[in-house]
Amino acid sequence: MSSLPELYSRYGALWGAWLGTIILAIVLYIGIVSALNLFRRQATARVAAGTHPYASVVLAVVARSSRVIIAILALLLGLRLTQAVFPWQSWISDHLWFVLLAMQLALWLDVACVSILSLVAARARASVVTTTLLAYLLRTVIWVVTLLAILDNLGVNITALVTSLGIGGVAVALAVQTVLSDLFASISIGLDKPFEVGDFVVFGSVAGSIEHIGLKTTRIRSLGGEQIVCSNTELLKQTIQNYKRMEQRRVVFTLRVPYDTPVSTLSELPGDVKAQIEAQAATRFDRAHIATFGDHGLEIEAVYYVMSADYNRYMDTQQAINLGILRAFAARNVTLRPQERMLHLREDPAAESVE
């Protein structure tokens, strides 16, 4: 039977170690929370000032810190430093701290991914559906990896589990590969934004305005009025011409005049073409020359730019230029020569001999 001094020495040292552990844990907890509050204040100031583009991400990550996890981690760290004796000491020292740390890191990564994606989507004007879907996929990966790491630390053999998940994932991917292909194509369209709703696009034999960009298909309203539904994967395989984003239109046209036109008059014709182009609003003249000796007359080639993507405006401008050229050429007694074709007819000698 232990004497009173021995009991006092044993339990007094135990309670002293626990008291020191609690005090040290409180100090560590206050220090960690104070550091997080300092980060929060600095991030809030930067968000208000707008001096750092990712300050809002830091603020969201700090706000996602779990006070319960921090308190337990501070207590475990205090127990490790004071070497205090406590129940299940081996299991807690080997596993609990890893589980808590992995959970806290997963919480930070979770909110960081969502915040960064939201920030990038706002700058790139990406689709809300695309951003949400991509955030969901990233969050799923984060939590699956965290869960597997925790199970492995707890001694669970995850090799068979990972193998099963891999085989199952391959089987599912093969079964729904078309859907997954369109799904990732939708994400690509949402992030890269080759076109948006309302854009007029041309690819292959299809020409029309984008009506809707879905997870699997894109709907296009054609010039004829019918709706064309195209798979996102097949759509991205095409070379797409997006006329909505065309800032200017380059126009090339050719005029043909007779060979018997006087040289003095010919030298004035490119200037007349230039004057008619420059007389129109929102145009930029490039060049006008007597380019070639054609089969049916001298060919004048002119190039100019319409500073608008509107097709109707381009047609109005070209019409005005054509009418002006006709008036200017008529004033110089120059007639535009159409392309001539000569058809020679002859009798078949064999047919005459038969008769």
Element (H, E) at 217: strand 217-222
Tokens linked to 305: 């730019």
Q: What is the mean pLDDT of residues 174-192?
A: 70
The pLDDT score that the predictor gives to residue 352 is: 55
Q: How far apart are CA 255 and CA 290, in angstroms?
A: 9
User: Residue 89's pLDDT is what?
Assistant: 58
Give the pLDDT of residue 82: 66
Strand, helix or coil at 235? helix
pLDDT score recorded for residue 8: 39
**pLDDT at 173 > cutoff 60:** no
3-state SS, 39-103, equals HHHHHHHHHHHCCCCCHHHHHHHHHCCCHHHHHHHHHHHHHHHHCCCCCCHHHHHHHHHHHHHHH
d(CA 323, CA 279): 12
Identify the burial level of 256 via C-beta atoms within 10 angstroms of its C-beta, where 0-12 means exposed, 13-18 middle and 19 or more buried.
middle
pLDDT band at 320 (very low <50, low <70, confident <90, very high): very high
**What's the whole-number mean pLDDT along residues 19-23?**
74
Q: In 3D, which of 273, 191, 284, 285 has the Cα closest to residue 232? A: 191
In this structure, whether the domain defined by 189-244 belongs to CATH 3.40.50.2000 is answered with no
As a whole number of angstroms, the distance between CA 15 and CA 20 comes to: 8
pLDDT at 271: 93
User: What type of residue is 138?
Assistant: L
- Indicate if the pLDDT at residue 339 is higher than 60: no
Structure tokens at 12: 């007094």
| 349 residue type, one letter | P
Q: In this predicted structure, what is the pLDDT of residue 337?
A: 67
State yes or no: pLDDT of 3 exceeds 50: no
Of 182 and 271, which is predicted with more confidence? 271
The position carrying tokens 């690509």 is: 188
Cα(196)–Cα(240) distance, integer angstroms: 12
List, in order, residues 6 or more apart from 265 with CB less than 8 Å away. 332, 333, 334
Q: Architecture of 246-331 per CATH? A: 2-Layer Sandwich (3.30)
pLDDT (tens digit per residue) in 22-72: 777 788 888 888 888 887 887 777 777 766 767 777 788 888 888 888 888
Q: Which amino acid is at 204?
A: G
Q: Which of 73-77, 105-109, 275-279 has the lowest mean pLDDT?
A: 73-77
Q: Which residue has the higher pLDDT, 315 or 159?
A: 315
Contacts 24+ apart (CB under 8 A), 129-136: 129/186, 129/190, 129/215, 130/186, 130/187, 130/189, 130/190, 130/191, 131/190, 133/183, 133/186, 133/187, 133/215, 134/187, 134/190, 134/191
More confident site: 241 or 21: 241
pLDDT value of position 7: 39
pLDDT class of 329 with cuts at 50, 70, 90: very high
Question: Which of 338, 333, 340, 327 has its CA nearest to residue 266?
Answer: 333
**Alpha helices of the chain — where are they, by DSSP H?**
4-49, 55-63, 67-82, 89-91, 97-124, 128-153, 159-175, 177-192, 232-236, 263-266, 269-278, 311-331, 349-354
- Is residue 172 over pLDDT 60? no
Whether residue 1 is predicted with pLDDT greater than 50 in this model: the reply is: no
- The residue with tokens 């009025």 is 225
Structure tokens at 326: 């006709």
Report domain extents, the chain. 4-154, 189-244, 246-331
Cα(300)–Cα(310) distance, integer angstroms: 26
pLDDT at 179 over 70: no
Q: Comparing 36-40, 75-79, 241-245, 333-337, which segment has the lowest mean pLDDT? A: 75-79
Task: Report the distance separating Cα 319 and Cα 342, nearest Å.
Answer: 30
Are 169 and 143 in contact by the 8 Å Cβ rule? The answer is no
- Burial code (b: 16+ CB inside 10 Å, e: under 16) for 260-298 equals ebeeeebeebbebbbebbeebeebebeebebeeeeeebb
Looking at every residue in the chain, the average pLDDT score rounds to: 78
